[in-house]
């Protein structure tokens, strides 16, 4: 692995990275060319080492001829850090400030973009159920990674996570006993199927795919931090086009609309919890 020791040729490495990312895009349509460089580099080098290869060029050769290697690399690029009612204050603010707006609509469409294994989708379904809005809501849960969508559809999560999730739920203003929403099985905790009866799980690539509906709410939390500025602007344009007037955009705690070209099109409902309303 001498190619990747300190003092290696950074220019050569960047050329190899460009060739790999361009090759992925040309070969199978996955576009990671505008992901944050340091983040994507770490994942590429991890895969080089895991495949016992000597170079990024060697990885490119393998992914072009070995579909299983390609899928492993795509999985490396997919960031799957999530939990139920993650950042409880966000969900509490959503309950207090967004739910009253949603009550005024005869039907509600919500898009969870980059939903990962679905914990936040189930969280939203619980919240809307408690507020009496779930029956008139359709939730679209999308991710680039088909494997995490399979996990999301099962509704099965590790039992050891329930203590943390229960605490999050309570702090997010939960109205019931959290354990009412699931049953313990030999494979883990399975959440009740009624929580996904109004959910559509589908593969969607924020980088290359287009808008597919008009939404009242779009939630994309802790995804944009992995994109460079150019790609962030592209995705913000996609969200703007996909939101109806007075629609709500929810971002992660390290993300903001403030320094984007669309900042003037929104007003903050909650600056601290990154909830914005489209106003023009």
Q: What is the CATH number of the domain that holds 185?
A: 3.40.50.150
Residue 82 lies in a domain: no
202 Cβ contact list (under 8 Å, min separation 6): 140, 141, 142, 149
**Residue 268 has what pLDDT?**
96
107 and 235 share a domain?
Answer: yes
The yes-or-no verdict on residue 78 having pLDDT over 80 is no
User: Average pLDDT, stretch 124-153?
Assistant: 96
Residue 26 lies in a domain: yes
**Residue 129 has what pLDDT?**
98
CA dist list (Å): 61 to 53, 134, 264: 10, 48, 45
Domains: count for the chain: 2
72 and 198 share a domain?
Answer: no
For the chain, the 3-state helix, strand and coil shares in percent, each to the nearest 5, are 50, 20, 30
Reported for 103-108, long-range contacts at CB under 8 A and 24+ positions apart, including other chains, are: 103/131, 103/133, 105/136, 105/216, 106/136, 107/136, 107/137, 107/138, 108/133, 108/136, 108/137, 108/138, 108/216, 108/217
User: Average pLDDT, stretch 123-152?
Assistant: 96
- Structural domain that includes position 70: 2-77
User: Average pLDDT, stretch 246-261?
Assistant: 93
- The beta-strand segments (E) located in the chain are 108-113, 137-143, 156-157, 182-185, 188-191, 199-203, 215-220, 243-251, 266-270, 275-278
Residue 165 lies in a domain: yes
**Residue 9 has what pLDDT?**
80
User: pLDDT band at 259, cuts 50/70/90?
Assistant: confident
Name the residue among 133, 118, 130 with its Cα closest to residue 217.
Answer: 133
* Greater model confidence, 6 or 217: 217
User: Average pLDDT, stretch 95-114?
Assistant: 97
The yes-or-no verdict on residue 24 having pLDDT over 50 is yes
Average pLDDT, the chain: 93
The yes-or-no verdict on residue 189 having pLDDT over 90 is yes
CA dist list (Å): 241 to 87, 212, 213, 244: 27, 10, 9, 8
User: pLDDT band at 79, cuts 50/70/90?
Assistant: low
pTM of the model: 0.81
The yes-or-no verdict on residue 6 having pLDDT over 50 is no
157 and 266 share a domain?
Answer: yes
Among 51, 77, 103, the domain-final residue is 77
Q: Please state, in angstroms and rounded to a whole number, the distance separating the CA atoms of residues 78 and 116.
A: 8
**Residue 232 has what pLDDT?**
93
> Comparing 38-42, 92-96, 125-129, 210-214, which segment has the lowest mean pLDDT?
38-42
> φ, ψ for residue 109 (rounded to 5)?
-120, 125
Q: Please state, in angstroms and rounded to a whole number, the distance separating the CA atoms of residues 58 and 38.
A: 20
Residue 264 lies in a domain: yes
**Residue 35 has what pLDDT?**
85
164 and 265 share a domain?
Answer: yes
User: Average pLDDT, stretch 239-257?
Assistant: 96
* Strand, helix or coil for residue 216: strand
User: pLDDT band at 110, cuts 50/70/90?
Assistant: very high
């Amino acid at each position: 692995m001498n190619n990747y020791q300190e003092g290696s040729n950074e220019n050569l490495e960047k050329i190899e990275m460009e060739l790999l990312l361009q090759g992925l895009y040309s070969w199978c349509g996955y576009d990671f060319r505008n992901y944050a460089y340091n983040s994507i580099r770490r994942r590429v080098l991890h895969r080089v080492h895991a495949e016992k290869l000597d170079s990024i060029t060697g990885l490119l050769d393998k992914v072009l001829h070995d579909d299983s290697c390609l899928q492993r690399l795509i999985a490396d690029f997919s960031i799957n850090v999530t939990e139920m009612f993650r950042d409880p204050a966000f969900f509490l603010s959503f309950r207090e400030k967004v739910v009253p707006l949603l009550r005024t609509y005869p039907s509600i469409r919500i898009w969870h973009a980059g939903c990962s294994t679905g914990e936040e989708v189930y969280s939203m379904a619980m919240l809307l159920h408690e507020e009496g809005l779930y029956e008139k809501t359709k939730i679209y849960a999308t991710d680039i990674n088909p494997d995490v969508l399979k996990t999301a559809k099962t509704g099965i999560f590790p039992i050891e996570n329930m203590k943390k999730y229960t605490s999050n739920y309570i702090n997010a203003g939960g109205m019931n006993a959290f354990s009412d929403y699931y049953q313990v099985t030999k494979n883990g905790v399975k959440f009740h199927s009624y929580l996904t009866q109004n959910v559509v799980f589908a593969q969607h690539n924020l980088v290359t795919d287009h808008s597919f509906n008009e939404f009242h709410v779009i939630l994309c939390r802790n995804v944009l931090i992995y994109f460079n500025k150019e790609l962030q602007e592209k995705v913000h344009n996609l969200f703007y086009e996909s939101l109806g007037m007075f629609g709500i955009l929810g971002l992660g705690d390290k993300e903001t609309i403030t320094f984007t070209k669309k900042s003037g099109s929104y007003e903050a409902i909650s600056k601290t919890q990154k909830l914005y309303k489209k106003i023009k």
